A and B are shown apart, each in its own frame.
Chain A
Amino acid sequence: MKNTTNETTTTIATKKMSLFVYLLFALGIITTSSAQEQKASETIPTQTVTVDNAEEQQVFAVKGTVKNEEGPAPDIAVAIKGTNIGTYTDFDGHYELMEVPKGAILVLSCVGCKTQEVVVSQETIHTMMEMDFMDTVVLSDPSAAQTYVSKPSLWQKIKRLVQ
């Protein structure tokens, strides 16, 4: 009789312990899964935004002209922001882009000019490009592989001549 009561108490104790362990275990799983959910929710909005742009919106064929201080600006890169769709201005500063969604942003850029962004709301766009040249101070100092060498003293120079 005593033995059996002892046994029952021990089994209850182990059961309690294992229940506790399971609880903790479950807690661990919940926290990790919630962390994963958080990560997932961070990435979702950007995806939905791109879907919105592609499907719901009206598209335009955009024609534009780009000028700078000197007149028509050729070879200006024109790209739809956030895509790899783009073109260049021709010799007269003209460009054409098909199927541009309304509300999309055109990025106009060239090496040495101030980048401009234009929101597409109409079919013809005129843009003035400002050159960056004037306020860029060109500086240059390359990385050198050599270690520092002190200038020789007068005495060292004389010694070198003698040698």
Chain B
Amino acid sequence: MIRYFVIIIVLCLNNCIYAQHIDVRATNFKDADSISASYMGEPLSSLPILSYQLTHHLSSDVEKFRAIYMWVSHNIEFDFQNFIKNKRKRKRLKNDPIALKQWNASFSKEVFQKLLNEKKTVCTGYAYLIKELSNLAGLACEIVNGYSRTGATHFKKITSPNHSWNAVQLDGEWYLCDATWSSGYFDETNEFTLQYNNSYFLAAPEWFAKNHYPEDPKWLLLDTPPTLLNFFKEPLIYKSAYTYHILPIHPTVMDIVVERYQEVKILCKAPLSIHTENITLELISGSKRYEIQPLCIRTSEGLLQIVHTFEKTGHYDAHIKIKGNPVLTYTVRVKRKLT
């Protein structure tokens, strides 16, 4: 008798699971990824056929988009030469809109040529390719231009947009992604390493808004969008913040000023799977660099509080790390007395 009831309950549960909305990032991408890998090295000479080959075996929007995203992130290299060239030129022409427009026209032609012939490009090239291949597969996709912040950008000086990424519509919902940042990274020696990073694939808007700010705030996909001014002042997050689901809550600004012996409390959203013994705090002040295990407290609201007391005055770069990977940066000015 009990056995029958168990069977019935299992059957009913099965039905319920079927009906539930599926989290897109949790989709099984085995098929999409293997299709994408099988077209490794394919040329860009026919985008309609490339798009068809990548997507026609896949049934859902999210899988189709995954195959395109993986292909672009694995096959297109970042063009450092053109990146520097463009940056210098744009800086020089920033007060001359006519010359800047002319430069854009001639440079974009060059960028498209290089993308086609060498599969090397800058951010706009990645975003362009994602949009084209998605549109050809019947997916609504837009290029989003805006501001970005990384450990290497001196964002206090940013006056015009410096980055492009994409918004894509899958089963009626809009999502954000950044194929340039997914494809690889630069180290201190300006060497590009092609290494796929999943953090920026259909990233949660809350995280995305910490280092991407679109020219048109509607592409933040947030109900209460922050202002651009606040965006530049916020604590800096890194790709591992996406991976570990760490989101800074308080302080809301990156540069903080405290008094000596005063407790500094940093409040973050952090899942329970993060063990506090894996959290370290790296403090850099001039030539001094040391790493400590800060006091970590779980608050009643399920948040994580990281506490540290500075005993010496000075200016510190404070990096919060998980298993050695940087997730957050604050800068702390420690004063003898707060006036």
Contact = CB atoms under 8 A, between A and B. Distances in A.
A binds B: yes
Given A25-B8, A31-B15, A77-B47, A140 B115 contact: no
A17 B122 CA distance: 70
Contact of B46 (A28, A77, A81, A143): A77
B31 to A, nearest CB: 15
B329 interface: yes
A24 B9 CA distance: 10
A147 B238 contact: yes
Nearest to A83: B52
A141 B153 contact: yes
**Chain A interface mostly helix, strand, loop or mixed?**
loop
Interface in A3-29: 17, 21, 24-25, 28-29
Nearest to A153: B315
Contacts of B48: 77, 79, 81, 86, 107, 109, 115
Given A75-B45, A112-B112, A148 B83 contact: no
A141 B150 contact: yes
B164 A139 contact: yes
Contact of A109 (B46, B148, B161, B192): B46
Interface residues of A, number: 49
A133 B186 contact: no
Interface residues of B, number: 77
A142 interface: yes
Contacts of B188: 145-146
B11 A86 contact: no
- Report, nearest first, the 5 A-B pairs whose CB atoms are least far apart: A112-B112, A140-B122, A144-B152, A77-B46, A28-B11
Interface of B: 1, 4-5, 7-8, 11-12, 14-15, 18, 44-49, 52-53, 56, 59, 78, 80, 82-83, 86-87, 104-105, 107-109, 111-113, 115-116, 122-125, 128-129, 132, 135-136, 145, 148, 150-153, 161-164, 180-181, 184-188, 192-193, 197, 236, 238-239, 284, 286-287, 315, 317, 319, 326, 329, 331
Interface of A: 17, 21, 24-25, 28-29, 31-32, 35, 43, 75, 77, 79, 81-84, 86, 88, 107, 109-112, 115, 132-134, 136-150, 152-153, 156, 159-160, 163
